[in-house]
Structure 1
Amino acid sequence: MLFVQVISLRNMTVKHFSIEYDAVNSENTFTNGDTINGRIIVEVSKQTKIQSLVFIAQAKARVCWREDHGNQQHIYWAEEEYYNIQEHIVRESRQDGTEVIDRGRHIFPFVFQIPDRNIPSSFNSPTGKIVHKVKAELKHSLKLMKSAKAYFLFTSKTDMNISGLMEPQQDSKDKTIKVFGSGTISMHVRTQRMGFSQGEALQVTVDILNHSSRSVKPRITLYEKQSFIAQRTRTVRPNVIQKEKLASVASSSRETVTRLISIPADLPPSILNSSIIKLEYRLKVHLNIKCASDLEVKVPVVVLPTLGVPRQPPPYSFEPEAYEIPNQEDWSATPQQAAFQPVDSPPSYKTYTLYPHPY
């Protein structure tokens, strides 16, 4: 199985230009340190001078949203780059700065190793995206630049250094009823740990001590919190994943309830390693108290990736113009320097091995 983007160019010297890569599993997902094999395909209608053919592997995040402030609308945006690796497959080698390829179809294989470091997983939302892609740029003698790209799904390996990841989580709250009743209500919530894999069952235990004159109605909610940070401003997008209502707890009674909450197998893993995009999960136990403010207890949940779990490819629309930012140049981030040495001679149709940035 392979994934490809094709640029077809009719009635031009360059008839076909594309980049493609081979999937390593049926879900088309990759992780830290994986190797991606692929090829750049160039088809020309006649002998053609090429100034350069560059392979690029890149991962970056972008966020953008608008807010109304009175009669003015403000745009918040930010970008973060995780790697930007480039390799010259064909580069200037003659005195006139060109290289010549013959008429026909030319295939330039490449091998790219994803950096084995802490990089966030692919993510897609209307407010922000994290994308991983391979790209090829071709410049021929007319100084016209053509590009082809293909996205791939990246799932980061579990970061076991998250504080409290495998430790029990618990919290308690209490409330005194003073209006239209009397007494106190206490609630204690605990889970066996913070980290749960996709598809795993989360066990939650709720202790409710109702020493009041009112009955209470408990409800358990698993929800996500998407946070986007730009220009010292944060916007949050909460979303309920699932909820469950429990039986009412009568006045002057005590109840202990244990429930299994299934983590959906296709739920995106938590994103905690990006400075501009956060994907966090919470388990909230909510007590509805009639004629009084409700009582809530929240405990954190970290969704851990299960490598090999199918993920739906996100419908990427990630180019800067999609955000309608007035000054596109400001989106550029300082590129990292690649750790490899560029190829000085013309390619001999061998496989080019690219090595990740060491930092």
Structure 2
Amino acid sequence: MPDTALRCFDITFENNMDVFQAGQIVKGQVQIELSEDMKMRMVEAGIQVVMKGEASCKWLDSVSKNETVTFVSREIYFQNAQILWAPSQEKTNYNPVLPAGKHTFPFQYQLPGSGLPTSFETTFGRVRYSAEAIIDQPRGTPDKKFKRIFTVLDTYDLNQDPNATTPSIAKGSKTLGMLMFTSDPIEVNVQTDRGAYCPGEVIRLGGTINNGSGTDIRHTTVQLIQTATCIATGQRWGAGNETRTKTESKTLNEVKTMAGCKAKGTADLSAAGIALPIPAVPPSVRRYCGIVGVEYTVKFIVNIPGLHKNLEVYLPITIGVIPLRSYYPTAPSFPSAPVEEPPQYAEGPPPPYYAVATPSKIEKDQEDKGTDCMGPKEFAPKYAYYDWHGKQP
């Protein structure tokens, strides 16, 4: 059958909901429209949907002058195949066919009740969940496949983190000049207002700058840094297996402030009102996944004029999904359907909604290599986001 006969092949989720938590039921349907009958292979699974959750890492590294090794790793959290239509249901002279026309095949799958890490995409690894529909064609004809990726969110509760209310503290110093002509040090003591936050909240900074140099410091910069860590194993020629770690850091948000300090002076950073908003990002815990991890750091930069290198300090923080009760006394109710605009509220903090993270191109899974697997070419995970609109204390 020519591909033009397959007019529609798609997977849709009930209520367009594509964000789930452990233990929830994923409901959807496979939609097929044919302009003519489609021949099927004489097997039990003519049309099936495969639900899969996995983490994987892959990259190439040079391990010697003449050897490059592929480092790979994989964790499977679930894999379940459901038969939606069997050839035995439609036979014409023992040649199974799916008749021309529109067909809808509903499916549902309950996710495991625990042990599912949050969806995440990075250059060298990923945590990914998908529903893949497969039409089993006769021998010699490639199967038709359609894959739709969805988000699973590990609702990490900051109230279970004993260090959530403890500020992150960093100190640093720097002298200007060289050898005998160095200045008195520029010293910075900076801290966050607490140690853990949720997307949509604001990180507030305090502390002091003591400027012992003769150079005015006019401003500072604050950045939110996300660091992804991937772990994989490669086999070296004649040397056995070797495990390596790959990290990738990127700046998610940046605020340039007028918090400076005159030469030979002292500045109070708390009075500057430094605030760094947190965008929609996954939680920073590595629980449930042994090969892909995500961590966050606040980078505070004292911008020194001229040819001098800036003074930089780093403050590690935790990002979760359920906010601290001191800021959100009532447990949040997550939406059962996607919303494009933040929910309206009268008093107190808002309930979360699902905000889209940066889309990334979808690389084919190993089992899809060499096949024409249909579906979106990009995927953007969605994470819980609290639209505080300045109401956060």
TM-score computed with the length of structure 1 as normaliser = 0.70
Aligned residue identity for 1:115: P
Instruction: List aligned pairs for 1:81-230, cutoff 5 A.
Output: 81-89=76-84, 103-104=99-100, 105-139=102-136, 142=139, 145-160=143-158, 161-162=160-161, 164-174=163-173, 179-211=180-212, 215-216=216-217, 218-230=220-232
- Rounded to whole Å, the distance in 2 between the matches of 1:224 and 1:17 is 37
- Rounded to whole Å, the distance in 2 between the matches of 1:208 and 1:71 is 50
Instruction: Tell me, yes or no, if the aligned pair for 1:180 and 1:291 is still in contact at 8 Å.
Output: no
Which residue does the alignment assign to 2:266?
254
Which residue does the alignment assign to 1:39?
29
2:354 to 298, 309, 322: 309
Instruction: Tell me, yes or no, if the aligned pair for 2:259 and 2:269 is still in contact at 8 Å.
Output: no
**Equivalent residues, number:** 313
Instruction: Tell me, yes or no, if the aligned pair for 1:170 and 1:188 is still in contact at 8 Å.
Output: yes
Aligned residue identity for 2:110: Q
Which residue does the alignment assign to 1:29?
19
- Rounded to whole Å, the distance in 2 between the matches of 1:65 and 1:198 is 30
Cα distance per residue 1:139-174 (max 9 Å; x no partner): 356486443221123333124344523432223334
Instruction: List aligned pairs for 1:45-84, cutoff 5 A.
Output: 45=37, 49-52=42-45, 53-68=47-62, 69-84=64-79
Aligned residue identity for 1:285: F
Cα distance per residue 1:170-211 (max 9 Å; x no partner): 233345777423534432211122222222111111212334
Aligned residue identity for 1:81: I
Aligned residue identity for 1:147: K
Query: Structure 1 159/10 Cα, relative in aligned 2: closer, same or farther at 3 Å?
Result: same
Query: Structure 1 307/9 Cα, relative in aligned 2: closer, same or farther at 3 Å?
Result: farther
Instruction: Tell me, yes or no, if the aligned pair for 1:64 and 1:76 is still in contact at 8 Å.
Output: yes
**SS of residue in 1 equivalent to 2:354:** coil
**SS of residue in 2 equivalent to 1:310:** strand
- Rounded to whole Å, the distance in 2 between the matches of 1:46 and 1:70 is 53
TM-score computed with the length of structure 2 as normaliser = 0.65
Aligned residue identity for 1:103: P
- Structure 2 unaligned segments of length 5 or more: list them: 234-242, 322-350, 370-393
RMSD value, Cα: 4.0
Identical counterparts, % of pairs: 19
Q: Answer 1 or 2: higher relative contact order, Cα 8 Å, separation at least 6.
A: 1
Cα distance per residue 1:321-340 (max 9 Å; x no partner): 6999xxxxxxxxxxxxxxxx
- Rounded to whole Å, the distance in 2 between the matches of 1:56 and 1:202 is 41
Aligned residue identity for 1:297: V
Query: Structure 1 92/213 Cα, relative in aligned 2: closer, same or farther at 3 Å?
Result: same
Aligned residue identity for 2:319: V
- Rounded to whole Å, the distance in 2 between the matches of 1:303 and 1:147 is 37
Cα distance per residue 1:217-272 (max 9 Å; x no partner): 64322222232222222222222231424443234322111334332443454363
2:277 to 229, 252, 263: 263
- Rounded to whole Å, the distance in 2 between the matches of 1:229 and 1:56 is 27
- Rounded to whole Å, the distance in 2 between the matches of 1:80 and 1:227 is 15
Aligned residue identity for 1:270: S
